[in-house]
């Protein structure tokens, strides 16, 4: 069995509902294609025919991510000659729990057009992990065949399909709905399909309100910025989900990505909220509250839960990952196997406070902050050596528990895999910053423990400087990790870019890291590669060993901007080029081929899209090139330091700012910024 590819499929989305089809709009059996809802595929076949033939596709377009139109021609109908005189438009609209399709047959033929419009339908109600593994499932018979209302009901999932005016028949697996159609000259005839979906017991649902984010308006001489930002924000709105928090009220967050990860992920949802801080702090606060509600309280090797720990993911049922590194990997419904979500939670709380989140929302989360900081010392540092490390004690969880969580992600430069427990470089940076900034936040509210966390952070910084730095023929850089024997795992990776802006590096370290990130072996021209091309394990389409991840590059870019490095402009241009090449909808990752050899970035065929932190990378990019920072002492609560040289021409961006204080930012052609 092979994981389905999806790079050439069309998606119509409104989480937790998604429809994946071929580019012509047809949902044919096989692969990922289908109508999905809440971690289940409902319909695996939804094929439109005219007189038993599929029409010839002509065009498809999507104005927004929740709508799609497909235009085709039934070539056997209409006047003779080369000009098509009969057209079929299939419009698909998706809302949470609802899919609507409208089929409009129009004609300019000289005589009335008579035909049969048919729709072939089948449902398999397959679990998402089974679809992801490439497994096949038998169709489930429908109830109500013969009428215009059909239902499928199994394991808490109920789907209802309405085809008004159609007659339905079945061969036991497929259902065929047909309409007899007569289209007079110069007129059109329309028929509809409506699918309603309900998953009892689902752990996530659609938010009950609109996003409430301000519109961000861009007018720039660089015509790439506005469409990229507009599409990314639209995708993020469509990825919004909600789940019950501490008081039973829904808390909003961004689902990690379509198709596989439309649920709460600690790391992904936190990074997304951090990147969106100039647009909204409300999302960060609701995400923080929800994760605090699930914060670990006990020690459990099966779920990887520990007191104070922030979870990795939540699902309605367990999720099978298949075999990896010689073990059968499967995760329980609530799983805590992540080393970085806990420090990232602390950093997100500090960020939200800095960006002006209301104090009466921040203060109630301080006890959770204290538990998170205690986890770093008492559980994250399992062997007491002053560093955070991870190991899967269950034998069936994730073998790697940083953001690069595939089994082969942590490799030495000779290609060999490192064995856990592993202490990742970037996690030490997160933990250091979490302790320092967490102490600042506690001090601001008069809470105890400030000196303890600052002293612990200082020792961590010293240990990092002493143990992580290695050298190759080019020079010094931090190793990706320390292995189980506390030896450096020597390979040059993008992980080091996450250290920038955390404060764990001294000035010389910042300089060395920044320079290595833009070396020809790391900077592809479309972003920062996950692994140097000089490493033996490098592959341009290796998931974590040579590909480019937009969010990873955006984090490196934000760090370069925070350190005010001259490399910022180069990396920003590379990332903007990639986002533009994907039409503003960057996938989870793409191939690491050099731009000089591959004029457009090559898709990674199984990559999620849209994915939350990839979409949020557009906002992070804009924030980085503006040098946007919260500043209580500055006018409008913001400071600006546009990247130099400024290469985007005269630019005006309205709608960014701190909580409830939105400004218009103008940057002149020579890079001078003003706010108003």
136 and 231 together in one domain: no
570 and 539 together in one domain: yes
Sign of the torsion angle spanned by Cα atoms 473, 478, 483, 486 = positive
Cβ neighbours around 366 below 10 Å, total: 16
Stretch 129-158: mean pLDDT, rounded? 95
pLDDT, position 229? 97
Both tokens of residue 323? 């075999």
Stretch 184-203: mean pLDDT, rounded? 96
Given a cut of 80, is residue 322 above it in pLDDT?
Answer: no
Given a cut of 90, is residue 665 above it in pLDDT?
Answer: yes
C-alpha 597: how far from chain center: 28
185 and 234 together in one domain: no
pLDDT, position 573? 98
Angle subtended at Cα 539 by Cα 533 and Cα 541, rounded to the nearest 5 degrees = 125
The 3-state DSSP class for residue 156 equals coil
231 and 166 together in one domain: no
The 3-state DSSP class for residue 465 equals helix
The 3-state DSSP class for residue 478 equals strand
**Confidence grade of residue 325 (pLDDT, cut at 50, 70, 90):** low
Given a cut of 80, is residue 426 above it in pLDDT?
Answer: yes
Last residue of a domain, one of 166, 199, 232: 199
Sign of the torsion angle spanned by Cα atoms 614, 579, 567, 561 = negative
The 3-state DSSP class for residue 123 equals strand
Burial class (CB in 10 A: 0-12, 13-18, 19+), 313: buried
pTM: 0.97
404 and 467 together in one domain: yes
Given a cut of 80, is residue 82 above it in pLDDT?
Answer: yes
Structural domain tally of the chain? 2
Distance from C-alpha of 630 to C-alpha of 637, rounded to nearest angstrom = 6
Q: How far apart are the first and last CA of the chain?
A: 57
Stretch 238-266: mean pLDDT, rounded? 95
Q: Are 149 and 167 in contact (CB under 8 A)?
A: no
194 and 297 together in one domain: no
pLDDT, position 158? 96
Q: Cis peptide leading into 610, omega within 30 of 0?
A: yes
Last residue of a domain, one of 199, 227, 255: 199
488 and 357 together in one domain: yes
Q: Tokens 């025919």 identify what position? A: 49
Structural domain contains residue 205: no
Stretch 132-148: mean pLDDT, rounded? 95
CA distances from 222 to 438, 647, 651 (A): 39, 8, 8
The 3-state DSSP class for residue 90 equals strand
Q: Are 551 and 614 in contact (CB under 8 A)?
A: yes
290 and 194 together in one domain: no
pLDDT, position 214? 87
373 and 408 together in one domain: yes
CATH code at position 502: 1.50.10.10
Nearest C-alpha neighbor of 611 from the set 60, 127, 13: 13
Structural domain contains residue 645: yes
Q: Where do runs of H (alpha helix) occur along 492-567? A: 507-517, 550-562
Q: Where do runs of H (alpha helix) occur along 393-449? A: 425-444
Stretch 306-330: mean pLDDT, rounded? 86
Least confident of 82-96, 202-216, 545-559: 202-216
Rounded percentage of the chain residues whose pLDDT exceeds 70: 99
**Strand blocks (E) in 631-672:** 638-639, 651-658, 661-667
Structural domain contains residue 106: yes
Sign of the torsion angle spanned by Cα atoms 48, 51, 57, 62 = negative
Domain that holds residue 525: 217-667
CATH code at position 23: 2.70.98.40
Rounded percentage of the chain residues whose pLDDT exceeds 90: 93
What size, in residues, is the chain?
A: 676
Secondary element (H or E) of residue 231:
helix 225-238
Nearest C-alpha neighbor of 427 from the set 454, 408, 400, 396: 400
Per-residue model confidence as pLDDT tens digits over 428-437: 999 999 999 9
Both tokens of residue 438? 């967490």
Per-residue model confidence as pLDDT tens digits over 597-624: 999 999 999 999 999 999 999 999 999 9
**Confidence grade of residue 63 (pLDDT, cut at 50, 70, 90):** confident
Q: Which long-range contacts (CB under 8 A, 24 or more apart) does 505-509 make?
A: 505/429, 506/465, 509/465, 509/469, 509/478
Stretch 526-551: mean pLDDT, rounded? 98
pLDDT, the chain, mean: 96
450 and 578 together in one domain: yes
Rounded to 10 deg, the angle between the 612-626 and 568-581 helix axes is 140
Secondary element (H or E) of residue 92:
strand 86-95
Per-residue model confidence as pLDDT tens digits over 43-58: 999 999 999 999 999 9
154 and 261 together in one domain: no
325 and 270 together in one domain: yes
Stretch 79-99: mean pLDDT, rounded? 97
Structural domain contains residue 212: no
Q: Are 15 and 23 in contact (CB under 8 A)?
A: no
Last residue of a domain, one of 199, 225, 249: 199
Both tokens of residue 16? 């937790």
pLDDT, position 326? 64
Stretch 481-502: mean pLDDT, rounded? 97
Distance from C-alpha of 120 to C-alpha of 149, rounded to nearest angstrom = 14
Both tokens of residue 584? 């503003």
**Confidence grade of residue 328 (pLDDT, cut at 50, 70, 90):** confident
Given a cut of 90, is residue 424 above it in pLDDT?
Answer: yes
């Amino acid at each position: 069995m092979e994981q389905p590819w999806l790079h050439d499929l069309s998606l119509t989305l409104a989480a937790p509902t998604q429809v994946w089809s071929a580019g012509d709009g047809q949902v044919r059996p096989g692969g990922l294609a289908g109508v999905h809802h809440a971690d289940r595929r409902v319909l695996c076949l939804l094929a439109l025919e005219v007189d038993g033939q599929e029409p010839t596709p002509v065009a498809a377009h999507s104005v927004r991510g929740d709508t799609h139109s497909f235009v085709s021609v039934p070539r056997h109908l209409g006047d003779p000659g080369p000009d098509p005189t009969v057209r079929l438009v299939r419009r698909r609209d998706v809302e949470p729990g609802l899919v609507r399709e409208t089929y409009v047959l129009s004609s300019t033929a000289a005589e009335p057009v008579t035909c049969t419009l048919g729709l072939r339908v089948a449902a398999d109600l397959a679990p998402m992990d089974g679809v992801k593994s490439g497994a096949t499932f038998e169709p489930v018979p429908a109830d109500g065949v013969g009428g215009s209302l059909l239902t499928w009901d199994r394991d808490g999932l109920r789907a209802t399909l309405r085809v008004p005016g159609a007659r339905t028949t079945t061969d036991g697996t497929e259902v065929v709905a047909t309409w007899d159609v007569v289209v007079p000259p110069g007129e059109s005839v329309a028929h509809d399909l409506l699918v309603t979906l309900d998953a009892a017991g689902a752990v996530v649902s659609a938010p009950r309100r609109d996003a409430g984010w301000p519109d961000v308006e861009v007018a720039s001489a660089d015509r790439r910025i506005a469409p990229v930002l507009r599409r990314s924000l639209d995708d993020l709105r469509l990825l919004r989900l909600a789940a019950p928090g501490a008081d039973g009220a829904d808390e909003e967050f961004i689902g990690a990505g379509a198709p596989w990860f439309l649920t709460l992920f600690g790391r992904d949802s936190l990074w997304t909220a951090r990147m969106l801080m100039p647009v909204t702090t409300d999302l960060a606060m609701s995400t923080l509250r929800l994760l605090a509600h699930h914060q670990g309280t006990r020690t459990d090797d099966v779920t990887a839960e520990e007191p104070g720990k922030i979870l990795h993911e939540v699902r309605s049922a367990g999720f099978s990952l298949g075999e990896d590194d010689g073990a059968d990997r499967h995760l329980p419904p609530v799983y805590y196997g992540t080393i970085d979500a806990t420090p990232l939670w602390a950093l997100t709380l500090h960020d939200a406070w800095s960006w002006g989140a209301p104090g009466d929302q921040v203060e109630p989360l301080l006890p959770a902050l204290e538990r998170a900081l205690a986890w770093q010392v008492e559980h994250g540092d399992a062997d007491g050596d002053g560093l955070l490390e991870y190991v899967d004690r269950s034998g069936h969880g994730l073998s790697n528990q940083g953001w690069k969580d595939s089994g082969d992600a942590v490799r030495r430069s000779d290609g060999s895999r490192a064995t856990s427990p592993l202490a990742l470089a970037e996690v030490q940076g997160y933990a250091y910053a979490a302790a320092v900034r967490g102490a600042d936040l506690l001090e601001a509210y008069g809470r105890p423990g400030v000196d303890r966390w600052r002293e612990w952070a200082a020792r961590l910084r010293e240990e990092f400087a002493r143990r992580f730095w290695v050298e190759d023929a080019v020079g010094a850089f931090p190793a990706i990790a320390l292995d189980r024997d506390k030896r450096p795992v020597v390979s040059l990776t993008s992980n080091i870019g996450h250290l920038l802006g955390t404060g764990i590096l001294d000035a010389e370290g910042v300089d060395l890291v920044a320079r290595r990130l833009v070396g020809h072996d790391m900077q592809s021209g479309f972003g920062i590669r996950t692994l140097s091309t000089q490493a033996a394990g490098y592959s341009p389409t290796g998931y974590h060993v040579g590909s480019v991840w937009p969010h990873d590059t955006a984090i490196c870019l934000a760090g370069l901007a925070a350190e005010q490095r001259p490399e910022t402009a180069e990396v920003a241009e590379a990332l903007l080029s990639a986002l533009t090449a994907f039409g503003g909808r960057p996938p989870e990752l793409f191939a690491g081929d050099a731009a000089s050899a591959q004029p457009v970035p090559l898709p990674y065929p199984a990559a999620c899209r849209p994915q939350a932190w990839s979409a949020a990378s557009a906002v992070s990019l804009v924030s980085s090139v503006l040098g946007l920072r919260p500043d209580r002492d500055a006018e409008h609560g913001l400071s600006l330091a546009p990247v130099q040289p400024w290469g985007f021409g005269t630019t005006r961006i309205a709608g960014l700012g701190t909580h409830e204080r939105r400004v218009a930012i103008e940057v002149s052609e020579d890079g001078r910024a003003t706010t108003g």
